[in-house]
């Protein structure tokens, strides 16, 4: 079974996900049906900063797992933006990625080209799956870039599949000729 993409935007700047939905659909990317508070609570939960946010742990517990379940229910490639994840430690980033088992995680960072993407994330996301985009993109521009990334990933997946089929076809043709 083909793993679906989970395009994870870790900021550092927040984005208007509602404004991005239509443009993301062009690339076959959906956004989990959750409210903005769920994204904030997911960031607070993973960073364990509920006290600093004035919340009780019980209020944020399970927010990230719930968001990941909603992403699975879309049954397509997903885009999620949790800018709070930008400052995560390697352990917190690993904890967040554990919930994404079954997805191919693609990291999207909008730091521009002057700052490095967060090492906590780039060290655990598969090589070649981190995309650094210019800072201060509008919601529509970011959505277009994310849709483009999803289409590039799909093209690469199809190329790999085609190579396997071609190899298998040659093997079958050799057996038929023998």
Average pLDDT, the chain: 92
Q: What is the DSSP letter of 9?
A: E
The CATH code of the domain that includes 61 is 3.40.50
Q: Across residues 110-130, what is the average pLDDT? A: 90
- DSSP letters, 75-93, are -SEEEEE-GGGGG--HHHH
Structure tokens at 113: 């080209």
Main-chain dihedrals φ then ψ at residue 78, nearest 5 degrees: -125, 155
Tell me which residue has tokens 């797992």: 65
Per-residue exposure over 45-60, b if at least 16 CB sit within 10 Å of its own CB, e if not: bbbeebeebeeeeeeb
Structural domain of residue 40, as residue ranges? 4-177
Q: Model confidence over 19-42: pLDDT tens digits?
A: 999 999 988 999 999 998 999 999
- 3-class state of residue 108 by DSSP: strand
Count: domains in the chain: 1
Q: Model confidence over 66-78: pLDDT tens digits?
A: 999 999 999 999 9
């Amino acid at each position: 079974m083909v793993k679906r993409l989970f395009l994870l935007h870790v900021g550092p700047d927040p984005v208007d996900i509602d404004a991005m939905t239509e443009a993301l659909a062009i690339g076959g990317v959906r956004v989990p049906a959750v409210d903005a508070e769920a994204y904030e609570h997911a960031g607070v939960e993973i960073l364990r900063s509920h006290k600093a946010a004035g919340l009780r742990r019980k209020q944020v517990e399970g927010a990230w797992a719930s968001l990941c379940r909603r992403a699975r229910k879309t049954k397509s490639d997903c885009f999620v933006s949790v800018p709070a994840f930008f400052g995560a430690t390697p352990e917190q980033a690993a904890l967040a990625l554990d919930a994404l088992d079954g997805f191919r995680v693609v990291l999207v960072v909008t730091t521009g080209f002057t700052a490095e993407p967060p090492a906590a994330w780039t060290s655990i996301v598969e090589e070649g799956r981190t995309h650094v985009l210019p800072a201060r993109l509008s919601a529509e521009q970011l959505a277009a870039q994310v849709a483009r990334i999803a289409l590039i990933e799909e093209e690469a997946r199809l190329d790999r599949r085609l190579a396997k089929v071609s190899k298998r076809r040659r093997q079958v043709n050799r057996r038929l000729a023998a």
